[in-house]
Structure 1
């Protein structure tokens, strides 16, 4: 199992979300912690043209809306979320 670490920015965003969205996000993060870095679509995809190596996006479907959170893989079996979660309609 992989460690999933979040940033203060992600945590602040997460705390403002509805209970339903928190549950959807946590469920997807649990799947991520079990299968990363092998996890691919529809849960994770590579961010193209990123200046950061191994930049990925976690894709969460919530009531028909895609929710995205950026992440990257780092050594020692950890995943790091950073920048901020982005809601895209």
Structure 2
């Protein structure tokens, strides 16, 4: 499952795709995922996207808008909002 998540951080991944990959219904997958990891698949995916964004910010000179798109955020404003919520500061600092 981890490989599927890492390969699809660009925004194309759905809970149904993850559930299918594990041979479960989406409802059962969501429940089992939260029981095992303590957070929903969506929360986990956002955390992974933010981690990828941080790595890109440190290792490239890409503009934030391109980093946001590469990490599956619909817009830079969505990325900024999630980044601030997770880190307490905007990504440009």
Higher relative contact order (CA 8 A, sep 6+): 1
Provide TM-score, normalisation by structure 2. Answer: 0.27
- Which entry has the higher C-alpha Rg, 1 or 2? 2
More helix by share: 2
